[in-house]
Amino acid sequence: MNIVLGILSSVGRLIVIGILLVGMANCTQLGLNYASLDVEGKPAAYPPIAHDAEDFLDRREDWIQRIETHITGPIPEGVSGRLIEHRVVDEAYWDGHGILEEFVIAIEGSGKRRDFVLAVAWPKSDGPHPIIISQSFCGNQTAFNYPALTPPLPEALDDFCGGGEPSFMGSMVQKVFGRFISTPPMQQVLDRGYAYASYYTSEVIPDSKEPARALLPDFPHGPRGEISGAVSGWAAAWTAALDVLEADPRVDTDREAIMGHSRSAKSALVAGIYESRIDAIVAHQAGTGGTALSRNKPGETVAGMAKQYPHWFAPNYANFDARGLNTTPVDMHALIALNAPTPLLIGNGRRDVWSDPNGSWRATLEAAPIYAAAGTGGLQQENMQDAPVEADLVFWMRPGGHSITQRDWDFWLDWLDNVMARGDEVPTPTNRVKVAPAK
Q: Which residues pair with 195 in a beta bridge?
A: 131
Which one, of 391, 372, 386, 396, lies nearest residue 430 by Cα? Answer: 391
Provide the residue-wise pLDDT of the chain in tens; the chain has 439 residues: 445 444 444 444 444 444 444 444 444 455 568 999 999 989 889 999 999 999 999 999 999 999 999 999 999 999 999 999 999 999 999 999 999 999 999 999 999 999 999 999 999 999 999 999 999 988 999 999 999 999 987 767 655 555 455 555 555 555 556 678 889 999 999 999 999 999 999 999 999 999 999 999 999 999 999 999 999 999 999 999 999 999 999 999 999 999 999 999 999 999 999 999 999 999 999 999 999 999 877 889 998 999 999 999 999 998 887 655 556 789 999 999 999 999 999 999 999 999 999 999 999 999 999 999 999 999 999 999 999 999 999 999 999 999 999 999 999 999 999 999 865 553 333 333 343 333 3
According to DSSP H, which parts of 205-356 are helical? Answer: 209-215, 230-245, 263-274, 302-308, 332-337
- Full-model pTM: 0.89
**pLDDT for 438:** 35
State the sign of the Cα–Cα–Cα–Cα dihedral 387, 392, 393, 398.
positive
- CB under 8 Å, gap of 24 or more: what pairs does 150-159 form? 150/102, 150/117, 152/117, 152/200, 152/202, 152/203, 153/203, 155/206, 155/211, 156/200, 156/202, 156/203, 156/206, 157/202, 158/202, 158/206, 158/207, 158/208, 159/23, 159/208
DSSP 242-264: HHHHTTSTTEEEEEEEEEEETHH
